[in-house]
Amino acid sequence: MLEHLLPGWQGKLFTLILLGFVSTDFIITITLSAADATTHLIHNPLMPTALQAQLVPITLILVALLGAIFLQGFHEAMGIAVVLVGIYLSLNLVVVGAGAYQIWQQPTLIAQWQTALVTSHSNPLGALGLSLLLFPKLALGLSGFETGVAVMPLVKGDVGDTEINPAGRIRYTNRLLTVAAVIMSFFLLASSFETVLLIPAKAFQSGGAANGRALAYVAHTYLGNVFGTVYDLSTIAILWFAGASAMAGLLNIVPRYLPRYGMAPEWARATRPLVLVFGAITFIVTLLFQANVEAQGGAYATGVLVLMTSAAFAVTLAAFKQRKKRQALGFGIITLIFCYTTIANIFERPDGLRIATCFIILIVVTSMISRIGRSTELRVKGIEFDTQAQQLLENAMAQRSALEIIAHHKIRGDRANMSTKPNKSAKTIIYP
């Protein structure tokens, strides 16, 4: 959206910078999800002791398997994702239900929690202020929506949709994000409340049995190790395949922007070469972070927050240009909140900014090299002149005068029409 709201080169430059943060977000999504899946795997009671110390090798294997699936085909990957998500949500519903039953059976748990809350934070304003300070640490809870928006062009629209006005695609994407928001909000609120009541505080500490796997702890404790192991396997599968949405986003965004700007070779439009490139990058990132989930959390949060902030800013700018003052004010406040959260997260955990900067520099340098290389390419294989153009050429040759040809911008989505605005930068002079 910002590409169209900001004029000329400013929109393109902003898009390239955002691509750096998009790359950070999506690449870290793949590596973080695989590392988290490995963490669940090695903490399972049935896991052989010899494999519990192989965090990095197992993570690399999971990343490689994800890439292998995408090399087989995009539709095959999405089919697997649907099955895994269905199973995972069903098992989570069972675990959340079991937790609710335990709380129902032990009503004193809620009273104890309320007493502890009032004792620790008797002033509501103080609790609100503390929540604002802690909000940047909870930024990972915002993840997921940016990948949903990134794959919007993959959503099937109505028959009458055009590239300029994809009304059906927007409507269906709105439904998709609404359903995702409702499901995520329910499980996030329910699981947070239940795990606080049912799990001892010590278990949440670093190295504790519930650290990074609170629902799995509930599943093993109240539903037995057999069901807990099934839940672990489902969690491992969904965490591993969570990188599929990120890979899908990368495969959709990169060919959409860089080759169109003339900033990437034509092979960047193909899926399989890009999968190999992104796979190699994820291997490097995994090795750099040693598959540590906590270490990658800051970098991931930075990518998520920058994308959310840019989206809020784009909506604010669009509302302002349409003179919708109330909407612009509301979205502007949301933008300021995201700006504060992003800056606070960057100062506390600068790894994300460093990685994003590396991606931005890599994109810009690669783009410049590609532009320089392609400037010498002959991209026109032939020219066919109509009767009027042929007459103009003959007249120019007869008068031995130069003939200037100025290309016109084509209207997007309609190859048969051209706008009336000439592209003066694309000017060719023919000398007889």
| φ, ψ at 264 (rounded to 5°) | -160, 150
HSE-up of residue 370 (Cα within 13 Å, Cβ side): 17
- Angle at CA of residue 331, ends 326 and 334, nearest 5°: 135
CATH topology of domain 2-372: Amino acid/polyamine transporter I (1.20.1740)
Report the percent of the chain where pLDDT is more than 70: 76
Distance CA 398, CA 377 (A): 31
Write out pLDDT tens, residues 48-93.
776 767 788 888 888 888 888 777 766 777 777 788 889 999 999 9
> Which 3-state string (H, E, C) describes 247-270?
HHHHHHHHHHHCCCCCCCCHHHHC
Residues 6+ away with beta carbon under 8 Å from 293: 32, 35, 36, 39, 212
Which pTM value belongs to this model? Answer: 0.65
How would you class 395 by CB atoms within 10 Å of its CB: exposed for 0-12, middle for 13-18, buried for 19 or more?
A: exposed
**Domain-by-domain residue ranges, the chain?**
2-372, 387-430
Write out pLDDT tens, residues 329-381.
988 888 888 888 888 878 877 877 777 777 777 777 776 776 666 666 655 66
Q: Is the pLDDT of residue 423 over 50?
A: no
Q: Is the pLDDT of residue 94 over 90?
A: yes
SS3 203: helix
Judge contact between 300 and 29, C-beta under 8 A.
Answer: yes
Grade residue 416 by pLDDT with cuts at 50, 70 and 90: very low
Write out pLDDT tens, residues 26-49.
888 888 888 888 877 777 667 777
Write out pLDDT tens, residues 248-277.
777 777 776 666 655 555 666 666 777 888
